[in-house]
Amino acid sequence: MAKNSVEVLPTDKHASRRIFQQLSVTSRSLMGTLILEAGGIFVDSGWLRFLASGSSKLSKTVLDWNSSELGMEKAFIVAYDVLGGFFAINGGAFPGGGRNEIFYWQPDVLQWVNMKGSYSQLFSWALTGNLDQFYKNMRWPGWQHEVKQLTGDQGFSILPFLWIKSNTPLAERSKRIVPIEELWHLGQDLGKYVKNAQPRSSLQIL
């Protein structure tokens, strides 16, 4: 039973079948089931979005996000949040973790962090886990109302950046609605050049 709010987005059956076949997943897997049956999944008022076969509220599919234009080598992006935090399955991109473990691009430290769990464990955690605790340093009073104004293809660009130490509370920082792709590219570019981001311990979901 889900503890966090869940919205299953509808999808076009022809599109979902095409994506299912292109990814060569099995219908017995959780990912295969989601691709066949959902355009995407919104969790916790839409703060967290699981990718699937696309919908009017979440136009880019899991296949789009793992294309040569957006994807990353040896990792498979499966979900993201409104702040530009991305969840990816390790296919060898992250030497510090096992294959098929989930890593999270943590936007307040600009690093990939090992979640110590599988895709199915990530999905179960998203539905039943304490997301307020996980995002305790990245949420502000009234975020639910603001997030509901977004489509699944949008997120918040926050200034000062989350990774910058600032006396300005999150609620008072500038929040601009931008495409999620913009947050992805910005985060990955900044991660290459910011020198003072210190390693973090794993954020375990089990």
71-129 pLDDT, tens digit each: 899 999 999 999 999 999 999 999 888 999 999 999 999 999 999 999 999 999 999 99
- The three-state secondary structure class of 112 is strand
Arithmetic mean of pLDDT over the chain: 92
Domain borders along the chain are 6-193
pLDDT (0 to 100) of residue 66: 96
- Residue 166: CB atoms within 10 A of its CB come to 13
Closest CA to 87 of 62, 108, 105, 114: 105
- Give the right CATH number for 6-193 from 3.40.960, 3.40.1580, 3.40.50, 3.30.70: 3.40.1580
pLDDT band, very low/low/confident/very high, at 197 (cuts 50, 70, 90): very low
pLDDT band, very low/low/confident/very high, at 204 (cuts 50, 70, 90): low
Q: Which two tokens stand for residue 193?
A: 């050049």
The alpha helices in the chain, defined as continuous H runs, are 13-23, 30-37, 119-128, 131-134, 143-147, 180-193
What is the biggest distance separating any 2 CA atoms in the chain, rounded to whole angstroms?
51
Q: Work out whether strand 111-114 and strand 102-106 pair parallel, antiparallel, or are unpaired.
A: antiparallel
pLDDT (0 to 100) of residue 202: 46
C-alpha–C-alpha distance, residues 48 and 46, integer Å: 5
